[in-house]
Amino acid sequence: MSSHINLQLGWPSPRLYPAEQLAAAAAILSDPDVAKVALMYGPDLGYAPFRESVAKWLTSFYEPPSGSIPIERILITGGASQNLASILQVFSDPHITRRIWMVEPTYFLACTIFQDAGFADRLRGVPENEQGLDIEFLRKELAKFEYEASQNGVFHEIKPSSQYGKIFRHILYLTPTFSNPSAKTMSTPVREQLIALAREYDILLISDDVYDFLRWPAEDRKAHSIKLAPNPPRLVDLDRATSSDDSWGNSISNGSFSKIVAPGVRVGWAEASPKIILRLSQNGATTSGGAPSHLTSTFLDHLLSTGAMQKHIDEVLIPTYQSRYRVLMAALKTQLEPLGVRITTGAPYTIPADENTIVPVGGFFTYISFPPRLPSAGVIAKRAKEEYQLTFAYGEMFVVKGDETSVERSKQGFGNGARLCWAWHEQDEIEEGISRLAKLLKILLAEGSA
Ligand SMILES: Cc1ncc(COP(=O)(O)O)c(C=O)c1O
């Protein structure tokens, strides 16, 4: 057992990397015809066979209501972070894009990507609620902001529309399924309302759909006939179903193989309207050299098209994460809930249609709230690290940077909690981590009542 336990790390444990499968995929380079293609600059949209494989795989996983996903909707990227930066380069202009809305608590590393794109003073939080997003809060803030903007006169674009085609007035960033950090999943009605709002206010919804594939039953039920309730529709699916083929649309699904293959591959995909995909592929860094991560894309194509990737997800990742999840939940229930800690991951997003359908949980994280009598989550985290060699991500880390109102809201809600991750440590280490936290909380509770 490792002495330091880190429940903050959102990385898969190294033993879960499909190294052998990747080594087998790399052997394709021994064919000179394949090597010639794999080692040359790739096409701007990405390696075409891989785009086909991704489109097919996403179609079978999501079963989109508009039918199979055509290759024109798929772009190969260097992962979700790289692609977020590319999206901003192409579809935002700090003079025209007036606000970046981030669902809070937010994936904190995304804030820097927005700051780098010139939006340091424009980030604004939109609180989650049990259904995944406080849509009325967003509606009011948009209306208020648009009124104020209309009083301030016209701003001149930095990026000429003749070259850029489409600059969005607002951007909203979110992880609607198994969110990082809150583990919440947005309900279907809220997703539908969000699409309508995006149309009304010219918002580009950037949806990090990076955890969707890791899902298992919330409860341990043994019956054979039980099946998982379906995924809620992605924002891109709702957008596609209600817009014309030649429109820009208002959403991008930002996917990544970091969580389901290995972070080092730095490969992901974007799905959006063909118009958005084509424009995104024409950002300067891509036209100078082709799609990012071309060589690794060819390896991942081998994994995907041979079925090795899905086998790895089904036979290694899901069983491992599911067992760790159950151990974590049992430890939280027996050791922390009696101390007043609550699991706060929102309403389950699907009501089982019948007794044979079961609600899924998934992703990498759960979120807990500490009882009010304790010091701040930051203080608890500091003492956990110093006195118990236990690290976890604490609530204040997930405020939207530069938004004072987000800091204030955090004090009434998510700031008073912690994100716990099961991707890095084994079951016994997770249990040990929760025991250490329980010991610390007992001391803090005693100190508080002394
Ligand atoms: C919501 C979210 N988006 C993006 C990333 C990073 O993805 P990538 O490795 O593809 O850049 C992470 C990783 O923690 C994440 O949780």
Q: What is the mean pLDDT of residues 158-172?
A: 92
**20-307 has which CATH code?**
3.40.640.10
Q: How far apart are CA 81 and CA 257, in angstroms?
A: 12
Query: How far does the centroid of ligand 1 lie from the alpha carbon of residue 283, in Å?
Result: 21
Residues 253-310 pLDDT 10s:
999 999 999 999 999 999 999 999 999 999 999 999 999 999 999 999 999 999 999 9
In this predicted model, what pLDDT tens digit does every residue of 166-185 receive, in sequence order?
Answer: 999 999 999 999 999 999 99
pLDDT of residue 1 exceeding 50, the answer is no
Confidence of residue 359 (pLDDT cuts 50, 70, 90): confident
Q: Is any ligand 1 atom within 6 A of the Cβ of residue 79?
A: yes
| Residue 2 pLDDT grade (very low, low, confident, very high; cuts 50, 70, 90) | low
Q: Which of 314, 262, 315 is nearest to 18 (CA)?
A: 262
Question: 107: Cβ below 6 Å to ligand 1?
Answer: yes
pLDDT-based confidence at residue 226 (cuts at 50, 70, 90)? confident
DSSP secondary structure string for all residues of 426-444: -HHHHHHHHHHHHHHHHHH
Please compute the mean of the pLDDT values over residues 226-240 and round it to a whole number.
Answer: 92
Residues 25-73 have pLDDT tens digits of: 999 999 999 999 999 999 999 999 999 999 999 999 999 999 999 999 9
Residues of the chain with CATH 3.40.640.10: 20-307
Q: How far is the CA of 180 from the centre of ligand 1 (A)?
A: 9
pLDDT at 224: 63
Q: What is the mean pLDDT of residues 7-30?
A: 97
Mutate which of 208, 213, 252, 254 for ligand 1? The one with the most ligand atoms within 8 Å of its CB, which is 208
Establish whether residue 12 lines the binding site of ligand 1, counting it when its CB lies within 6 angstroms of any ligand atom: no
Q: Alpha-carbon distance 24 to 17, whole Å?
A: 13
Rounded average pLDDT over 376-395? 98
> Of 6, 10, 99, 108, which is closest to residue 415 (Cα–Cα)?
108
Cβ of 80 less than 6 Å from ligand 1: yes
Q: Looking at residue 381, what is its pLDDT?
A: 98
Tokens of 161: 């529309």
pLDDT attached to residue 450: 60
Quote the tokens at residue 104.
Answer: 């809070």
Alpha-carbon gap, residue 376 to 369, rounded angstroms? 11
Whether ligand 1 lies within 6 angstroms of the CB of 127 is answered as no
Chain region(s) in the chain for CATH 3.90.1150.10: 5-15+310-449
Mean pLDDT rounded to a whole number for the chain? 95
Q: Using the CB atoms, write b or e for 177-208: b if 16+ within 10 Å.
A: bbbbbbbbbbbbebbebbbebbeebbbbbbbb
Q: Which fold has domain 5-15+310-449?
A: Aspartate Aminotransferase, domain 1 (3.90.1150)
